[in-house]
């Protein structure tokens, strides 16, 4: 990239940041629209490594997990990365999330990626107004999201990427499908690329709508002298996707710089601000310690307005949006253990994370990854 295009890209990055900052100051989230968006499962991070420090690392996330928070980070895929993660979402609800992904380095500085996330709710009894206790069998809701991405390094400092999400929600007789776009930029600088900045726009797309036989019913024809019945189709309302804008930065601290062992001990501090279209804004902070790139320990915390207020179940308290908070906030922690193998310096890693919640038993994620 020549210097002219380099400056243009930096200018665009700065303008997006200024626009986002002004929006943050004037809007400060939109809690009045809480609960009005659909497909909110795409806000759940299915990966263990990044969720271990609250997803605050969108400015420095690397590899396949970047497809959730900042797709630009997939450009750092060295060759091939495979990742599988299983999540117990809100332990006690019997909701599980299985996620699988693959990223592949292409060309000189590019990478393509594919990620699939499936949310399972178990078998739910079929009930009707005549049989409220069930006895008619069961059905299984299925939430399936597939993401395709492409990212590229435009220079030694600037990386960008785009992703397309295909969203599917269905039960036996009703379903909805949608498409969303993600875009992200990462900028790294410093002698050892230790300073990182990132901006990401996510979940931008057209409205979704449910359809299917489950939205119709049969009823007798009014004023009919015969036993004629007709089928009535109910209209389903359209709903919007939970779009968001994230801005983050981070810094790597090395214990011994400019020495052969400078990367033995690394401490990384990260921070991210996320502005949501349908809920309160969040501030995410986290710290990660790494030893020789083999053992990594991390902690994080997600702040949002009203998080420290006492919970009151009275109607007066629950009627105000200021007291509403999401499950995706509070402390989190995790670790990774990564070992090399083979002649090509491939690695195998185990990742784990825990996200605390004020209801149920928190969220546990465990995953396995291979870098070839």
The whole-number pLDDT of residue 132 equals 87
Element (H, E) at 16: helix 3-27
Question: What's the average model confidence in pLDDT over 277-306?
Answer: 93
Question: Of the candidates 181, 187, 201, which has an alpha carbon nearest to the alpha carbon of residue 14?
Answer: 187
> Rounded to an integer, what distance in angstroms lies between the CA atom of residue 163 and that of residue 227?
54
Exposed e or buried b for every residue in 219-243, given b needs 16+ CB within 10 A?
A: eeeeeeeeeeeeeeeeeeeebbbbb
Whether the per-residue pLDDT at 367 is higher than 70: the answer is yes
Q: What is the pLDDT of residues 154-167, one digit of tens each?
A: 999 999 999 999 99
- Residues in Cβ contact with 48 at an 8 Å cutoff, skipping those fewer than 6 apart: 85, 87, 334, 336, 351, 352, 353, 365, 366, 367
Inter-residue contact 241 to 180 (CB < 8 Å) = yes
Lowest mean pLDDT among 31-35, 38-42, 127-131, 334-338: 31-35
Angstrom distance (rounded) from CA 56 to CA 302: 8
- pTM comes to 0.86
Which carries the bigger pLDDT value, residue 328 or residue 340? 340
Question: What Cα–Cα distance (Å) separates residue 228 from each residue in 92, 232, 245?
Answer: 48, 13, 54
pLDDT of residue 324: 56
Count of residues for the chain?
372
Give Cα 362 distance to the centre of its chain.
17
Q: What count of other Cβ atoms lies within 10 Å of the Cβ of residue 306?
A: 14
Residue 217 pLDDT exceeds 70: yes
Given a cut of 60, whether residue 35 has pLDDT beyond it is yes
- Position 27 confidence tier, pLDDT thresholds 50, 70, 90: very low
Tens of pLDDT, residue by residue over 115-153, are 999 999 988 888 888 888 888 888 889 999 999 999 999
In the prediction, which pLDDT does 12 show?
Answer: 53
**Do 154 and 9 meet the contact criterion of CB atoms below 8 Å apart?**
yes
**Cα 103 from Cα 80, distance rounded (Å):** 6
pLDDT of residue 2: 52
DSSP letter for 41, please. Answer: G
Both structure tokens of 238: 């359209």
Least confident of 79-88, 221-230, 342-351: 221-230
pLDDT at 347 over 90: yes
pLDDT over 90 (residue 180):
yes
Percent of the chain residues past pLDDT 90, beyond the cut: 60
CA-to-CA distance for 58 and 80, rounded, in angstroms? 21
- Average pLDDT of the segment spanning 261-282: 90
Separation CA 81–CA 96 (nearest Å): 23
pLDDT 10s digits, 236-266: 899 999 999 999 999 999 886 656 666 789 9
Which H or E element spans position 8?
helix 3-27
Give the N- to C-terminal CA distance of the chain in Å, as an integer. 29
The full set of domains in the chain, from first to last, is 3-371 (2.40.160.40)
DSSP H helices, 45-194, are 48-51, 66-69
């Amino acid at each position: 990239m020549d210097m002219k295009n380099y400056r243009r890209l930096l200018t665009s990055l700065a303008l997006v940041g200024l626009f986002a900052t002004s929006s943050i100051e004037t809007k400060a989230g939109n809690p009045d629209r809480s609960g009005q968006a659909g497909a909110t499962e795409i806000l759940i991070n299915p990966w263990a490594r990044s969720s271990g420090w609250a997803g605050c690392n969108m400015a420095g996330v690397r590899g396949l997990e970047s497809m959730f928070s900042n797709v630009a980070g997939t450009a750092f895929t060295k060759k091939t990365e495979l990742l599988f993660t299983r999540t117990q979402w809100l332990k006690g609800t019997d909701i599980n999330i299985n996620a699988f992904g693959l990223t592949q380095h292409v060309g000189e500085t590019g990478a393509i990626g594919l990620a699939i996330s499936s949310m399972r709710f178990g078998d739910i009894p079929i009930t009707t107004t005549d049989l409220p206790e069930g006895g008619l069998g069961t059905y299984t809701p299925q939430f399936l999201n597939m993401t395709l991405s492409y990212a590229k390094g435009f220079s030694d400092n600037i990386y960008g990427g785009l992703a397309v999400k295909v969203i599917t929600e269905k039960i036996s007789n009703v379903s909805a499908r949608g498409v969303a776009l993600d875009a992200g930029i990462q900028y790294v600088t410093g002698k050892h690329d230790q300073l990182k900045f990132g901006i990401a726009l996510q979940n931008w797309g057209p409205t979704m709508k449910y359809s299917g036989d489950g939205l119709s019913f049969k009823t007798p024809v009014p004023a009919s002298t015969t036993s004629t019945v007709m089928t009535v189709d109910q209209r389903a309302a359209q709903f919007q996707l939970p779009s968001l804008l994230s801005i983050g930065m981070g810094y790597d601290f090395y214990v011994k710089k400019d020495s052969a062992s400078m990367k033995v001990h690394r401490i990384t501090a990260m921070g991210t601000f996320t502005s949501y279209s349908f809920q309160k804004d969040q501030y995410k902070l986290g710290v990660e310690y790494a030893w020789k790139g083999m053992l990594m320990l991390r902690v994080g915390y997600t702040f949002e307005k009203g998080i420290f207020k006492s919970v009151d179940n009275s109607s007066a308290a629950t009627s105000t949006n200021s007291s509403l908070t999401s499950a995706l906030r509070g402390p989190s922690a995790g670790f990774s253990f990564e070992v090399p193998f083979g002649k090509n310096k491939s690695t195998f890693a185990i990742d784990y994370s825990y996200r605390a919640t004020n209801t149920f038993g928190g969220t546990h994620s465990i995953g396995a990854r291979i870098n070839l």
